[in-house]
Structure 1
Amino acid sequence: MRSRLYFILGSLALLQTFTSGSKIPSFAAQIRDMRHSENAHTKIELASLISRNSSIFSPLDAEWKNETERYMQNINPQVQLSVRPGLEDDVAKIVQYANRRNVPFYAVSRGHALTTSVGKFNGIEIDLRSLNRVHVNSNKSTAWFQGGVYSYEVLNSLWDEGCVSILGPALGGGHGLQQGKHGLTSDHFVNLNVVLANGTAVQVNENSNPDLWWAMRGAGHNFGIVTSFESKIWPDNFKKYFVKIYQFAGNSLDALIEQVNLFQGNGTLDPAWLGNFGLYTINAALSQTEATITWVFIYDGVQAEAEAALKPFDELQPLTADEVSIPYTAINDQIGGAVDGALCEPNKTHIIGTAGLQTYNVTTMRAIYDLYTEKINQHPELGATRVFVEGYSVQGVRSFNSDDSAFPLRDDNILTYFDVKLNSSSDPLIDFATKWRDETIDLWNAGQSDRKPTAYVNYAAGYESLESRYGYDSWRLEKLRKLKGQYDPYNRFAWYNPIIPPQIRY
């Protein structure tokens, strides 16, 4: 409110300086000009406070479009200024400055946030992408990662050292390919360097700020900005991983899901299987009217063992079956997650939804498939829509006590993800896609009527209940709210799946 008042008072003062013969610009132009002036003043002030290798961008800069580019254009935070700190210490200084000016701040690393709450932000963006260093400690059992590091940067840095890490957005728990052996990403934090809402920099671990240690692992985006963290890593010795990719027609679906349930089990999948992933989407080379079902299996072990275990899938008459042995660094690309691939294409409108499962309901998976076919036949232009499921080994995840961190969903064996991709935030098919999304998520949840709906926080769209994201045990939300009042009483961190809605203070 204070900065809005500055803009209004500044405009009134500007009006008083014009003579009667001057051409007075429109009020909107005056407001815009004053905002640019305010941003220029802020840039000068901030530049005097932070390190010289930092960067500050305003809407007048040529780099602005690049700097504020996002994955989802339909969730559009109002960024007035973007600051890219060059040193970790700069983050605390930026937060302190924003607080003095009573301006909201929001930290990003890559702009991939999916939740609608991000769209309510209006203020200074703290872009962590320059904080991307990885340092492997001499014992090669832990490494330090700065807060803006890309997953692929982690992979490549550790691979050079003969190591791997757990992948995944860590503060929301962090599912990944190594979780069957080692647990979630957040389970293997050793230390977190965190900037709190008041601009104080603290180290957080099981002995230092232990209550915040609990909250950061599962709900961390509500409590602070992690400028760097130390995590356990594991030797890999440059071995190869076996990947097999099947494509099936719709008439194979029921038998396929039954077989996947036998393979996946209910929390019993051997950790040697890093994951199995299913996808419904249109492959025009195979069919333009019916979704092709793709299923990918990834194995850490002897290829002959994997081939024997997958023989039942070979007998289901797949349309195609391809296999490859690749290093760990290539797995993400192989399953469609390349950083420059179609899945990461920026500036698109996405209608997304998610549900957590334990096993697949065959009837439900068939109903979702038939719904997909129905919707695509109505609107063939939506053929890139993805209905995606992720089946992981969870033995490592379940080896940790669920009460010891804020992450509540250790009994979800399967993640689901629905995604319609559109070119414009005003696309006339948004309502159609949203209804399709809701029907699909409702089907997934109805297929497990004995469980309450759950939503992995890193896949959540923002409309899900707090309990589905942060746990149905009443003590969990009570504890999170109490800690929120202690560490962030003014609710500065209210933009990513917030525990407390924006603009609400204690």
Structure 2
Amino acid sequence: MTVEVATEGDVIEVVKYANEQQIPFLAVNNAHGAITTVGRVKNGIMIWMRQLDSVQVGEDGHTATFGGGILDKAVTDALWAVGKQTVTGGCECVSVIGPGLGGGHGLLQARHGLVSDQFVSLNMVMADGTLEIIDHTHELWWALRGAGHNFGIVTSITSRIYDTKYPTWAFQNFTFTGDKVEALYSNINEHLLRNGTQPTDLFHYSFFSKNAAIDADSPAIFFYILQEGVDAVREAVVAPFLALEPFATFKGSGDYPELPGWIGWANAAATCQNSGLANTRFPIELQKYNVIAQRRVHDLLRSTMNEVPALNRSIILFEGYSQQGVKAIPSQDSAYPFRGSNLLVSPVVRFNENGEELTRKAKTLGEALRDILHEGEDNRHNIKRTYVNYAFGTESVEEIYGNEFWRQEKLLALKKKYDPDGKFSFYAPIS
């Protein structure tokens, strides 16, 4: 059953009713997370949050309060109208709070940190249906910024907002054929990533995707550079990539709210449409691109697509956010465990679900791609660092929430205290 709530009080009443009837429940914003663990909800209630989409800018101009179901575009547009910004995800159709509870990467994170780093307070419906206001004085404050899906339903957040200092952005995109894998990612390491010191005004993004108009046999590489505060991406930035003789290139500029449209993350783009496909992700966080591993994953994707055409809409995403604002906050200050990572990588295996055999092949591909990327790390971490908001569902708790003993101990103690019956144990559960 789906209940579309319209007020904070509605959420409270649904949770109380579900508890009385011993029915499981799951809050949903816009179905961004595709983790398999939510499939454990059987004969339950989906609490649909989309009507909780208010925006209220504080009188001091430094904070704003957002409804628990609001999506990124609504926040960006409302703040832009009053000359303000805050960190949200880059995709217009994704919620603010869902990713924020798992940390939340965003295009302004180089300046201000993660989405969760902007939180000032949260209104949260707890497992017993009571409402709590949680801020830095509450012991759950640490856990909600990185593992928040495990503790309650957020009905609103108050977050920091900032004056818009750099309204104009520019982009240049490049299309490369598959033979340019090594050269492209070597250039990104040297000229953009720079051992984890990518300039704060830059964002790079690429993906492997099959496009018959470019190459019927092999995935092409689509690569974007975005720069803040300029009318055109600086020549020194794009020159190393133009020297690789791309198959095609295109550039433009505009205001910050236009940015999702440039990279295919706008509401009207295919990314935000319900295609009917399974979109299973197998994420891993890395320090730099290993060009040998990049070649191996490209070749595996190519060979699998040719052998199993039902998987040929799969892609591999490489997100290169600048990290200064994220790394400025001590890792121990929140449950988000991987502040030292420089890259967010995610094989996305897309297919029409059509029997167990195809599902098995999809999972085998996704896990194999992730294993190659993990094996290619220099000074390899002993776990595959997994961004919780992209997780597939087979990852260990340590891979999602960090393998430090103190983190595991602290999360489990808080879970036992605030959700002893596991009411919130469907999205990347702690235990």
TM-score normalized by the length of structure 1: 0.80
Distance 1:305 1:107 in 2: 41
Measured after TM superposition, the shift of residue 297 of structure 1 is 0.8
Residue 279 of structure 2 aligns to a residue whose secondary structure is: strand
CA deviation string 1:381-440 (max 9, x = no partner): 533211111011101000001111111010111011111221235375322222211211
**Further displaced range: 416-425 or 242-251:** 416-425
**In the alignment, residue 97 of structure 1 is paired with which amino acid?**
Y
The structure-2 alpha-carbon separation of the partners of 1:96 and 1:380, relative to structure 1 and needing over 3 Å to count, comes to closer
Q: Secondary structure at the match of 1:129?
A: coil
| Deviation larger for 348-357 or 318-327 | 348-357
Is residue 84 of structure 2 the alignment partner of residue 163 of structure 1?
yes
8 A Cα contact 1:222 1:496, kept in partner: yes
Which residue pairs with 1:252 in the alignment? 180
Choose which of 127, 140, 157 in structure 1 pairs with 2:61: 140
Query: Where in structure 2 are the equivalents of 1:64-463 lying within 5 Å?
Result: 81-122=1-42, 123-168=44-89, 169-207=99-137, 209=138, 211-236=139-164, 239-262=167-190, 263-273=192-202, 275-303=203-231, 306-346=234-274, 347-426=276-355, 428-448=357-377, 450-452=380-382, 453-463=384-394
Change (3 A) 1:305 1:325: closer
Partner Cα separation in structure 1 for residue 354 and residue 129 of structure 2: 35
For residue 303 of structure 1, report the CA deviation from its aligned partner: 4.0
Alignment of 1:7-18 (within 5 A): none
SS in 1 for 2:140: helix
- More contact order relative to length (CA 8 Å, sep ≥ 6): 2
Please state whether the residue corresponding to 2:218 is helix, strand or coil: coil
Check conservation: 1:349, 1:425, Cα contact below 8 A.
Answer: no
Q: What is the match of residue 421 of structure 2?
A: 490
Q: 8 Å contact 2:101–2:146 — kept in the other structure?
A: yes
1:154 Cα deviation from its structure 2 partner: 1.1
The one-character-per-residue Cα deviations of 1:269-288 (angstroms, maximum 9, x if unpaired) are: 11111x20111111222111
3-state DSSP class of the match of 1:339? coil
Residues 262-271 or 182-191, more deviating: 262-271
Instruction: Give the deviation of 1:150 after TM superposition.
Output: 0.9
Confirm or deny: 8 A CA contact 2:310 2:351 kept in the other structure.
Answer: no
Determine if contact 1:162/1:238 at 8 Å carries over to the other structure. no
Find the aligned partners of 1:90 and 1:491 in 2 and give their Cα distance: 21
| CA shift for structure 1 position 305 | 6.0
- Count residues with an aligned counterpart: 417
Structure 2 residues not aligned, in runs of 5+: 90-98
- Say whether the 8 Å CA contact 2:353–2:359 is kept in structure 1: no
Q: Which amino acid aligns with 1:246?
A: F
Matched position secondary structure for 1:370:
helix
Q: How far apart in 1 are the matches of 2:133 and 2:188?
A: 43
Separation (CA, whole Å) in 2 of partners of 1:402 and 1:315: 39
Consecutive unaligned residues in structure 1, runs of 5 or more? 1-80, 501-506
- Within the candidate set 394, 397, 405, 1:466 is matched to 397
Distance 1:243 1:271 in 2: 15
Question: d(CA) in 2 for partners of 1:276 and 1:474?
Answer: 34
Q: Equivalent residue of 1:429, what SS?
A: helix
Q: 1:425 to 1:409 in 2, by over 3 A?
A: farther
Residues 159, 238 of structure 1: 8 Å contact kept:
no
Identity %: 38
Could you say which structure has the larger radius of gyration? 1
Which amino acid in structure 2 is aligned with residue 189 of structure 1?
Answer: F
The one-letter amino acid paired with 1:390 is: E
- Partner amino acid, structure 2, of 1:418: P
Q: Deviations over 1:242-301 (max 9, x none)?
A: 11101111222111111100121222111111x201111112221111111111111002
Q: In structure 2, do the counterparts of structure 1 residues 351 and 118 end up closer, same or farther at CA, with 3 Å as the change threshold?
A: same
SS of 1:329 mapped into structure 2: helix
Question: What is the one-letter code of the residue matched to 1:499?
Answer: I
